[in-house]
Structure 1
Amino acid sequence: MDRREIAALLAYIGRLDPRTIRTDPGEARDQLAQWHELLGDVPMATPHGWDARVAVRQHVRLSAYQILPSDIGRPWEKYRRDRLGRHSDPTPSVDPDDQAAWTAELVGTRRAVALGISQPVQARGITSGRREVDPELEARLREVGSCIPAAARATLAPWRTARVAREAAVAQGKLDALSVRCEWCQAQPGEPCSRRRVGADGGARGNAPLASPHPSRLDLAAAQQDQAASQPSMA
Structure 2
Amino acid sequence: MDRREIAALLAYIGRLDPRTIRTDQGEARDQLAQWHELLGDIPLTTQHGWNARIAARQHIRVSPYQILPADIARPWESYRRDRLGRHTDPTPSADPDDQAAWTAELVGTRRAVAVGIAQPVQQRQLTSRRIDPKLEARLRKVGSCIPPEARASLAPYRPARAAREAAIAQGRPDALSVPCQWCQAPVGEPCRRRRIGLDGDARSNTPRATPHPGRIDLATAQQAQEPPQPTMA
TM-based fold match above 0.5: yes
Which residue pairs with 1:38 in the alignment?
38
The residue type equivalent to 1:13 in the other structure is I
Separation (CA, whole Å) in 2 of partners of 1:185 and 1:71: 68
Larger radius of gyration: 1
Which residue pairs with 1:80 in the alignment?
80
- Corresponding residue SS for 1:208: strand
The structural deviation recorded for 1:48 is 4.0
Which residue pairs with 1:49 in the alignment?
49
The residue type equivalent to 2:32 in the other structure is L
Which residue pairs with 1:229 in the alignment?
none
Judge conservation of contact 2:177–2:219 (CA < 8 Å) in 1: no
Separation (CA, whole Å) in 2 of partners of 1:90 and 1:151: 24
Identity across the alignment (%):
65
Which residue pairs with 1:231 in the alignment?
none
Correspondence list, 1:36-115, <5 A: 36-84=36-84, 85-86=86-87, 88-89=89-90, 91-92=92-93, 95-115=95-115
1:187-221 residue CA offsets vs partner (Å, 9 max, x unmatched): 322322335689xxxxx996532246679xx5x99
Which sections of structure 1, spanning at least 5 residues, go unmatched?
128-136, 142-147, 199-203, 227-235
| Distance verdict in 2 for CA 1:71–1:196, change over 3 Å | farther
The structural deviation recorded for 1:70 is 2.3
Aligned length: 209
Which residue pairs with 2:188 in the alignment?
190
Judge conservation of contact 1:89–1:121 (CA < 8 Å) in 2: no
Judge conservation of contact 1:195–1:209 (CA < 8 Å) in 2: yes
1:95-116 residue CA offsets vs partner (Å, 9 max, x unmatched): 5444323333332333233223
Runs of 4+ in 1 over 6 A off after TM superposition: 150-157, 165-168, 220-226
The residue type equivalent to 2:206 in the other structure is A
Which sections of structure 2, spanning at least 5 residues, go unmatched?
130-139, 197-201, 222-233
Which residue pairs with 2:128 in the alignment?
126
The structural deviation recorded for 1:158 is 5.4
Judge conservation of contact 1:87–1:120 (CA < 8 Å) in 2: no
Separation (CA, whole Å) in 2 of partners of 1:177 and 1:92: 36
The structural deviation recorded for 1:87 is 5.8
Separation (CA, whole Å) in 1 of partners of 2:11 and 2:149: 76
1:148-183 residue CA offsets vs partner (Å, 9 max, x unmatched): 9x9999987755555749987xx9x9x997565458
1:84-140 residue CA offsets vs partner (Å, 9 max, x unmatched): 3346435345x5444323333332333233223x3236335439xxxxxxxxx8xxx
Judge conservation of contact 1:59–1:67 (CA < 8 Å) in 2: yes
- Corresponding residue SS for 2:128: coil
Separation (CA, whole Å) in 2 of partners of 1:51 and 1:96: 37
- After TM superposition, the score normalised by the length of structure 1 is 0.57
- After TM superposition, the score normalised by the length of structure 2 is 0.57
Judge conservation of contact 2:55–2:72 (CA < 8 Å) in 1: yes
| Distance verdict in 2 for CA 1:75–1:182, change over 3 Å | same
